[in-house]
A and B are shown apart, each in its own frame.
Chain A
């Protein structure tokens, strides 16, 4: 009897604390997600069309869609470039602002600020930089390769996207790295110093291994952000010139809403979800193994 009462109380507690969250999670994520999978099994041109069951036709169309795979390939390149540079720059900044230089607190604020600007606004601001400011500078200083707007050349437009992403997100990663860096016990660093390790040795053999938990988080975040990039893509290049910077999210949106092929677009979104889930899953699992105890 007593046992049963306790179980009931536990259950009550669980409902009290987890219930609301679970309900909201279900309403906003789970139910739409499952309903979304159901929609892919129907033939639809727009989201308001009547449902006509069509089996896996949408998935067949999605897999046959060459543009989907080429935009996914482009997105992969974008992922590699941004994950590498965002973490490199983020860690570098964090190292800098925890090294004890005098204005480090205001520097932290300054580096974090770009993250507070939304992707759309950021895209339009940087569009101005790439189309007008940089060419104007090139003109004044006589730098040949800066004279033309960046967004008209497929390669430069791609790197423009990468640069803006670094600028936007490395400040955020910096905050996570700072938390990691200041939690490293001072005594370990001191011990290494007494053992004769120089600054570089200390970084590689002491600091970095202890920072793996931070890297697990930052790499996961930057991976996910890069795979799902849309707002910046939309506002900075609109996928141009001639679709050369059309990332996969934008392709999915175009497919579903602009080309009025909602079923196929939705199926592509599900495929994209699976790919991202697998990639980030592997990343988290394998890098967790690299964590060490201090």
Chain B
């Protein structure tokens, strides 16, 4: 019976499609003399989307096909950046004379280098379902948050459960003293070095050393002070607090590499935490693959406590924010812009769109209405933190992630290796903002 209904349904549907097609054909025949291509509905709108995450190229192209299956009047071309390519695929296409309809940028580029590209997206429906839409300095939404990521102290649940004798709750560690007590407990439970601190320049620089920007609700206010030279690093409690905690993380007492804290330990540190020889390191959700964890082991994030005030919001939150945003190009035609907007809505509200973002591309969704969960336990920890409201801005989005690995990063490394004092480090920050931001 139901099969019969379905057949009738199908028949009905195809009849309707047929009628619609006939109508459009006759309409098109009437308007045959019209020179405006955009208004004729039977020539599909072609849009170009650039994908900045080369690793999900195949999934993105499949998603475009799925989208086109239900939006037959739109043709989507996806161009992905090659993994590790330094030149944005947007630049390449633009240089070759094409108009990219929608481009994927990292938020800093979207707000700086490409600040003139995007159209206003403030009126889009999806703004109600996310906190991570990218706004420019005038408060206008210009970026659709495609992927969010987060960072904090990655921990191995099994080791910490054993150390605390029960289920470890990461948000109980909200003071430096509690962190130290936890580390001591771990040592007592047989973990010689609880921390495996990897000190890549981008990690200690771009990620860790930007966290102090979160002391203001809007990190831009601190960035403005840095640029104008009015920020006093050495007297700032939060800035110092982060380096006090860094001293703990890198110390000989707790850090596996404490005797020589620098030196390409990324892989070794992750494997140590993954196996449970150590249990804590500082990184983001992308760290999971490097952990080479035994299937079924859980990992999560704990906040980085920077003082002994348990009510300090910085001690209770992890940094989460968009790391890739989609921007619609002003130079595209209105029809193309509308088609791109449709694609964004499809990503947020269509089952297939939601499925693509989270299940297929394994990207953490910035949207509350997407209940899918990634398989990466660190990604799950981030979506849980988003759900509980325990997140603060992803501070790296407010610095120039391009040159920090060669400018600030090495300075922080010198500080870790005790080659320079904290005052020297403050000086390095000052000089950087003097010479790099006019």
> Which A positions have Cβ atoms within 8 angstroms of B?
46-48, 127, 130-132, 147-153, 157, 236-243, 254, 257-260
Contact = CB atoms under 8 A, between A and B. Distances in A.
A131 B200 CA distance: 14
Interface stretch (B16-24, B227-235, B409-417): B409-417
Interface stretch (B253-261, B293-301, B383-391): B253-261
Contacts of A127: 264
A57 B262 CA distance: 37
The 6 closest A-B pairs by CB, nearest first: A152-B263, A242-B410, A152-B262, A241-B262, A48-B91, A151-B263
A258 B402 contact: yes
Nearest to B414: A242
Contacts of A259: 402-403, 406-407
Contacts of A258: 86, 402-403, 405-406
28 contacts: A46-B87, A48-B87, A48-B91, A48-B94, A130-B264, A131-B263, A131-B264, A149-B260, A149-B264, A150-B263, A151-B263, A152-B263, A153-B263, A157-B263, A237-B264, A239-B406, A241-B413, A242-B262, A242-B413, A243-B406, A257-B86, A257-B87, A258-B86, A258-B403, A258-B405, A259-B402, A259-B406, A260-B113
B399 to A, nearest CB: 14
Given A242-B413, A242-B414, A257-B86, 15 more contacts: A131-B264, A149-B264, A152-B257, A152-B260, A152-B264, A153-B263, A157-B263, A240-B263, A240-B413, A241-B417, A242-B411, A258-B403, A258-B406, A259-B402, A259-B403
Nearest to A259: B403
B265 interface: yes
A149 B86 contact: no
B91 A152 contact: no
B268 interface: yes
Interface residues of B, number: 29
Contacts of A257: 86-87
Contacts of B265: 131, 149
Contacts of B405: 258
Contacts of A241: 262-263, 410, 413, 417
Given A127-B264, A131-B264, A243 B259 contact: no
A240 B411 CA distance: 11
Interface of B: 86-87, 91-92, 94-95, 113, 200-201, 257, 259-265, 268, 402-403, 405-407, 410-411, 413-414, 417, 419
B107 to A, nearest CB: 16
Contacts of B94: 48
Contacts of A153: 260, 262-263
A223 B113 CA distance: 40
B417 A242 contact: yes
B205 to A, nearest CB: 11
A166 B263 CA distance: 21
A240 B403 contact: no
B262 to A, nearest CB: 4
A160 to B, nearest CB: 10
A241 B413 CA distance: 7
B182 to A, nearest CB: 26
A280 B405 CA distance: 33
A254 B404 CA distance: 11
B10 to A, nearest CB: 50
A48 to B, nearest CB: 4
Contacts of B410: 240-243
A148 B257 CA distance: 8
A139 B419 CA distance: 26
A276 B292 CA distance: 44
A149 B262 CA distance: 9
**Which of B200, B263, B410, B417 neighbours the largest number of chain A CB atoms within 10 Å of its CB?**
B263
B411 A149 contact: no
A240 B262 contact: yes
B87 A240 contact: no
A148 B402 CA distance: 31
Nearest to A261: B403
Given A152-B262, A238-B264, A241-B263, A47 B87 contact: yes
A106 to B, nearest CB: 34
Given A48-B94, A242-B419, A259-B406, A152 B261 contact: yes
A132 B256 CA distance: 12
Contacts of B201: 238, 240, 242
A118 to B, nearest CB: 15
Nearest to A251: B406
A240 B86 CA distance: 20
A200 to B, nearest CB: 43
Contacts of B419: 242
A48 B94 CA distance: 9
Nearest to B201: A240
A48 B407 CA distance: 24
A242 B356 CA distance: 40
B91 A46 contact: yes
A261 to B, nearest CB: 9
A46 B95 CA distance: 11
Contacts of B113: 260
Contacts of B406: 239, 243, 254, 258-259
**Which of B94, B259, B411 neighbours the largest number of chain A CB atoms within 10 Å of its CB?**
B259
Contacts of B261: 152
A89 B417 CA distance: 34
